[in-house]
Amino acid sequence: MSADTRGQAPNPVKLPIYMDNHATTPVDPRVMEAMLPYFMEKFGNPASHSHEFGWTAEAAVEQARQQIAALIGAQAKEIVFTSGATESDNLAITGVAGACRDKGDHIITVITEHKAVLDTCRHLEKAGCRVTYLPVAKDGLLNLDELRRAITDKTILVTVMAANNEIGVVQPLAEIGRMCRERGVLFHSDAAQGAGKIPINVDQLNLDLLSISGHKLYGPKGVGALYVRSKPQACVAPIIHGGGHEHGMRSGTLNVTGIVGLGKACEICARDMEEENRRLAALRNRLKEAILGRLEDVHVNGSLEHRLPGNLNLAFGHVDAEALQMGLRDVAVSSGSACSSASIAPSHVLKAIGMPENYAAIRFGIGRFNTEAEVDYVADRICKTVDSLRELEPRESGVGSQ
């Protein structure tokens, strides 16, 4: 080592470090490049069918529709553009409830779903629908036998997320889809965290509806898509009216720039997913081993076997969640607890898997642009911060359980 580098870290990192890629991802430069012409040069409305500006915009939208469909094994005509996965979830669940009211009024979901699903289901309960909220085991997985018993002749929809946004657990979609198809029940999955990160084929999984969000897979914010099966047709009543865009399922002028970005992001994911997953899983395991090798009373929340490659959710015993978050100012991660803290609301997911109240959780979302040097820095910061907090307040930490 030369004199001018002696004592320095071998792989210096730029602070702060972003490791919260389940909350949102940066736009990939290749995605931005594809989007740029549609801000000013190719600004037409795809519904304008009488001139070249409109034709160019429409062609870009249809190309994106094909790129998204290719990622999930669908047909281009089955892709409906929305503002994001929250709208897609609302359209899928509320739309099925409206279209299938003559068949039944029963919906089945899971207690660890995203609030976009849970709150939509609660809204429909006020409108007269019946909803079954299935529990999960400590590993975050639902029990297929409980699902089978929950399905009745009045069940119109089962909605189960592909991968959990907090603990990264991947649900057994193939088995769920097979069960739904056998019983003639529509199957929807919120794949905001799963699309582009794990292989998803709507035919193989017997999915009828699938929600996608652009900003979770290195595309822009404010754009998403809903896959709606055409054969057999998944009937969905619109929740936004006016203009009849998207086959009448979602009216409103299309966000061409965002749609182009979403399409390009899906194309990149489809091409690079396998190689990227190997790299992310290696980084995830490196982080896990570094932390668990230095700290006691730490465990992984959720199944390690059935998990997103870039997700690590750790529970730290005898550490206050708010204090831990405050101690990590130069690292962007997500903090949580199973009970209320001064600034951290209780996590329904962590409560559902039985994480003790006197534990603090950290969700690491490792992404496309994270490096080994960043992983090593974050592991060291976590260990030093936890050790410091335990030394300062060995008996007073875990205040959230009071």
Instruction: Please list, in sequence order, all residues whose beta carbon lies within 8 angstroms of the beta carbon of residue 21, skipping any fewer than 6 positions away.
Output: 310, 365, 366, 367, 368, 370
CA angle 13, 17, 22 (to 5 degrees): 140
Residue 396: which pLDDT band, with cuts at 50, 70 and 90?
very low
Residues 263, 381, single domain; the answer is no
Task: List the beta bridge partners of residue 136.
Answer: 142
Q: Does 402 map to a domain?
A: no
Q: Read off the pLDDT of residues 264-305 as tens digits, 9 standing for 90 and up.
A: 999 999 999 999 999 999 999 999 999 999 999 999 999 999
User: How many other CB atoms are found less than 10 A from the CB of residue 122?
Assistant: 13
> Which of 18, 8, 11, 5 has its CA nearest to residue 366?
18
Give the separation between CA 307 and CA 140, rounded to whole angstroms: 10
CB distance 69 to 76 below 8 Å: yes
The number of domains in the chain is 2
> Which of 342, 192, 254 has its CA nearest to residue 200?
192
Give the separation between CA 199 and CA 269, rounded to whole angstroms: 10
Q: Which residues have a catalytic role annotated?
A: 339
Q: Does 2 map to a domain?
A: no
Q: Read off the pLDDT of residues 105-130 as tens digits, 9 standing for 90 and up.
A: 999 999 999 999 999 999 999 999 99
Query: Which residue is listed with tokens 């036998």?
Result: 145
Q: What is the DSSP string of 240-304?
A: S-SS-TGGGTS-S---HHHHHHHHHHHHHHHHHHHHHHHHHHHHHHHHHHHHHTT-SSEEE-S-S
* Residue 11: predicted pLDDT: 53
Residue numbers of the domain that contains 287: 13-25+272-397
Residues 68, 82, single domain; the answer is yes
Residue 339: which pLDDT band, with cuts at 50, 70 and 90?
confident
Residues 230, 328, single domain; the answer is no
Q: Does 223 map to a domain?
A: yes
User: How many other CB atoms are found less than 10 A from the CB of residue 162?
Assistant: 22
Q: Read off the pLDDT of residues 77-108 as tens digits, 9 standing for 90 and up.
A: 999 999 999 999 999 999 999 999 999 999 99
> Which of 60, 106, 114 has its CA nearest to residue 88?
114
Query: Which residue is listed with tokens 């997985």?
Result: 141
Residue 397 above 90 pLDDT?
no
Residues 236, 106, single domain; the answer is yes
pTM: 0.94
Which run of H or of E encompasses 18? strand 17-18
